[in-house]
Amino acid sequence: MSRRRTFGSIRMLSSGRYQARYTSPDGARHRGPRSFATKAEASQWLAKIETEFARGTWTDPGAGRVSLDGYARSWVETRTNLRPRTVDLYESLLEHHIVPALGDHEIGTLTAGTVRRWYAQLVRRSGAGSLTPAKSYRLLRTILNTAVADGLIATNPCTIVGGGIERSAERPVATLAQVWALADAVPTHFRSLVLTAAFGGLRFGELAGLTRECVDLPAGTITVRRALVQRDDGTLQLGPPKSEAGRRTFTIPAALVPELSLHLDRYVEQSDDALVFVGAKGARLRRSNWSVLWRKATEQLGIPGLRLHDLRHTCNTLTAATGASTRELMHRMGHASPRAALRYQHATRERDVVIATALDQIIQEGTT
């Protein structure tokens, strides 16, 4: 004698196929997404749904019918902790790389295969070395993780191993000779900005947001409290650094002290909140205006393509060479994660092997 069904029901349709139905905990009635050829198939499908209820993994099949476009834009709007530049980045990635290909899909219909095809096309279109595919994939995965938490979908279809890892091309590291040459090549009132970037390791926004009260020359320290951000629409916004770890106080090399002292005396107003680095006419420093001056200086010195941010790499490489610990590097760099610090330490270890090899050659030549 067959056991009486306790979950759901099955009925035969006029076509001879079978339809499965069940009631969810909220009292709503649901049908299977399709009819089944046999009663056994319908029964197996109901058993699967019953198991999902027992495990707490069931999701309302109608919940995922919101479009990815609508859900993603709402997701950005409701993230109140995002930095302004991060909002600009996310909106750009959605507008140019995610929504055109996937925006019309209901999030409940997105499959791992759909995501893989989109990602592969984006990689081919973006070209080798582009960070866009990784950034776009990481954003999509994060958005859909929230959809899982919201109960709109059962699992995240973003399953590409390593899809969100950025594989950046190795950036150049300016030599000390190039640093001093660049400081001489830019307009005089920007000389100490270049040197502070190279010997203090500050980001452009941190340099542009630095105020007189944050530079303590008797103590030989700089405190980073704010950063000036230029949005995609051109507006400037003074706010906290890139991350909480970006708030930091660190000691600067003694060679930088007289340079900053002269700069403060000549170009900076006496009030504590006076910006240390400003444009030629005293206005807040814009990345777009600075880029013109920087490009001219690098081309003049025969190092086109070098970015101001590359001077931060110079600083961190020199700091790692002193034997600074991972935690010390993270503090000076303003990083919450040890990943970047470990990269600089790895580069230093590689250089250490080269030095040891050269020493060994000298020793061998001297003993033969």
User: Is 51 in the same domain as 70?
Assistant: no
**Overall average pLDDT of the 25-40 stretch:** 84
User: Is there a single domain that holds both residue 217 and residue 288?
Assistant: yes
Task: Confirm whether 269 is domain-assigned.
Answer: yes
2 has a pLDDT exceeding 60? no
The model's confidence at residue 80, banded by pLDDT at 50, 70 and 90, is confident
Same domain, 89 and 185: no
Q: Is residue 71 part of a domain?
A: yes
In percent, how much of the chain has pLDDT > 70?
90
Under the banding of pLDDT at 50, 70 and 90, the label for residue 368 is: low
6 — pLDDT class (breaks 50, 70, 90)? confident
Burial, 235: exposed, middle or buried (Cβ in 10 Å; 0-12, 13-18, 19+)? Answer: exposed
Instruction: Decide if 345 is inside a domain.
Output: no
pLDDT digits 0-9 by tens, 164-211: 988 766 778 899 999 999 999 999 999 999 999 999 999 999 999 999
Domain boundary among 249, 276, 305: 305
273 and 185 inside one domain: yes
Please write the tens of the pLDDT for every residue from 273-324.
999 999 878 889 998 889 999 999 999 999 999 999 999 988 888 888 888 8
Whether residue 53 is found in the same domain as residue 78: no
Task: Say what the pLDDT of residue 1 is.
Answer: 44
Spatial contact of 196 and 207, defined as CB atoms under 8 Å apart: yes
Domains held by the chain: number: 3
Classify burial at 14, counting beta carbons within 10 Å of its beta carbon; exposed 0-12, middle 13-18, buried 19 or more. Answer: exposed
Tell me the pairing of strands 18-23 and 9-12. antiparallel
Residues 218 and 263 occupy one common structural domain: yes
Does the structure show a pLDDT above 70 at 346?
Answer: no
pLDDT higher than 90, residue 363? no
99-119 per-position pLDDT tens digit = 999 999 989 889 999 999 999
CATH of the domain at 111: 1.10.150.130
| CB environment 64-99: b (16+ within 10 A), e (fewer) | bebbbbebbbebbeeeeeebebeebebeebbeebbb
Q: Which of 128-132, 199-203, 269-273 has the lowest mean pLDDT?
A: 128-132
pTM of model > 0.75: no
Cα–Cα distance, 47 to 95 (Å, whole number):
42
Shared domain for 54 and 76, answered yes or no, is no
Residues 216 and 295 in one domain: yes
Q: Give the residue from 305, 320, 355 where a domain finishes.
A: 305
| Per-residue confidence (pLDDT) for residue 3, from 0 to 100 | 57
Q: CATH number of the domain at 210, please.
A: 1.10.443.10
Query: Could you tell me if residue 18 is inside a domain?
Result: yes
Judge whether 336 lies within some domain: no
User: Is residue 244 assigned to a domain?
Assistant: yes
Both 92 and 77 in a single domain? Answer: yes
Q: Which residues are catalytic?
A: 203, 309, 312, 335, 344
Say whether both 194 and 300 belong to one domain. Answer: yes
CATH label of the domain that carries residue 47:
3.30.160
Sign of CA dihedral 148, 154, 159, 162: positive
Q: How far is Cα 321 from Cα 367, in angstroms, rounded to an integer? A: 30
Q: How confident is the model at residue 5 (pLDDT cuts 50, 70, 90)?
A: low
What gap in Å lies between CA 140 and CA 355, rounded to an integer? 45
Q: Are residues 74 and 105 in the same domain?
A: yes
* Domain span holding position 32: 9-58
Of 305, 332, 348, which marks where a domain is finished? Answer: 305
In terms of domains, do 23 and 73 share one? no
Decide if 366 is inside a domain: no
Residue 359 is predicted with a pLDDT of 65
Asked if residue 294 is part of any domain, the answer here is: yes
* Residue 83: per-residue pLDDT: 82
**Residue closest to 104 by CA, chosen among 65, 140, 137:** 65
Least reliable range by pLDDT among 58-62, 290-294, 355-359 = 355-359
